[in-house]
Amino acid sequence: MEGRFSFAKLKYVFPPFQNGDVDPAVKALEARQDEILRKLYELKAAVEGLAKTVTTPDADLDVTVSSSLSSQSSSCAIFKGTTNLDALLGEDLGALRDIVINANPAQPPLTLLVLHGLLCQRYRVLSTVHVHSSVSSVPPQLLSCLGPKHADSYARHMFQLGFTLIWKDVPKLEMKFSVCNMCPIEGEANVARFLFKLLAPYPSDPALATLVDSWVDTGFYQLADGSTKERAAVLRALNSALGRGPWLSGPEFSLADIACYCCLLQNGSASSIAANVQGWMKSCENLGHFGPAKLLLK
């Protein structure tokens, strides 16, 4: 093999040695440096968090604050309540549980991308994107919409969940999981409900749960797919609902907010958005989960 390399570069591959051991003084210095840097980051995050308190309700739930403190916060408290993967997905058979989503590249499912991001914070998720042979090509941002390849993706069994997105010429978005025990789930609204339940249970109060569901349907069928008149009506309804509380279903952030925000984003924000809706959109953005959706629309 041809090539030159300088010994000067090699020097930095090996730690400085003294009497066959790492110099303890150097070690101590490095440790102090790490500690100082860590404290600085914490301070920075705390100041940012304080700044956001002024504009966002639930700033204590602001993910950008909590994520900078711990690299993988399994206690990501954005949603309260516990979920049981085995109860939702069936018995663990000792292999990767792979959720397959077939989506048409002409209508990227923004809500599902946001939910994917949230799932990655809660579980170890192996995300892959494929292009089906029924589609000749897709723009590059659709190929990278689930983020960079995980370093451990060569070992599928090390992950709790698989999220396999296939860009395919399908009339309607569909999700497949266990072909023997589950029929496919059709439509972005229904798949969103399924994925959300892996993050948190619906509110136990049936009235509240129905309200969440109602907003999800409104978002998908009227905000995203409806006529201009319908969209205008929904925007007015959003405005009045958001006058009563910070989030659509009341005091807590829910699937309703995720779905409606994404559907609003999808057909391009109307020129005139009422004050409450604008404030709510800003709050959503501050939570930091909608990055993947916004990236796709650029």
Residues in contact with another protein by CB under 8 A are 93-96, 98, 100, 102, 128, 130-134, 154-157, 164, 166, 168, 176, 178-181
Residue number, 54 or 179, with CB nearest to another protein: 179
Q: How far is the CB of 152 from another protein (least distance, A)?
A: 11
Q: Tokens 């048409």 identify what position?
A: 104
DSSP 122: H
Q: How far is the CB of 163 from another protein (least distance, A)?
A: 13
Residue number, 150 or 176, with CB nearest to another protein: 176
Query: What does residue 18 show for φ and ψ, rounded to 5 degrees?
Result: -145, 120
Q: How far apart are CA 175 and CA 179, in angstroms?
A: 11
Contact 261, 281 (CB under 8 A): yes
Residue number, 166 or 258, with CB nearest to another protein: 166
Q: 225: which 2 tokens?
A: 């797919």
Q: How far is the CB of 105 from another protein (least distance, A)?
A: 13
Residue number, 144 or 240, with CB nearest to another protein: 144
Exposed, middle or buried: residue 131 (CB in 10 Å: 0-12, 13-18, 19+)?
middle
Residue number, 165 or 264, with CB nearest to another protein: 165
Q: How far is the CB of 95 from another protein (least distance, A)?
A: 4
Q: How far apart are CA 56 and CA 44, in angstroms?
A: 18
Instruction: Say which residues have a Cβ less than 8 Å from residue 145's Cβ, sequence separation at least 6.
Output: 108, 113, 129, 165, 292, 295, 296
Contact 235, 263 (CB under 8 A): no
Residue number, 135 or 274, with CB nearest to another protein: 135
255-266 vs 275-287: helix crossing angle, rounded to 10: 110
Q: How far is the CB of 31 from another protein (least distance, A)?
A: 31
Residue number, 166 or 262, with CB nearest to another protein: 166
In this structure, the strands spanning 174-176 and 97-103 are: antiparallel
Q: How far is the CB of 27 from another protein (least distance, A)?
A: 30
Q: How far is the CB of 131 from another protein (least distance, A)?
A: 5
Instruction: Say which residues have a Cβ less than 8 Å from residue 127's Cβ, sequence separation at least 6.
Output: 116, 120, 146, 147, 150, 162, 163, 164, 165
Contact 141, 175 (CB under 8 A): no
Residue number, 155 or 275, with CB nearest to another protein: 155
Instruction: Say which residues have a Cβ less than 8 Å from residue 203's Cβ, sequence separation at least 6.
Output: 209, 212, 249, 252, 254
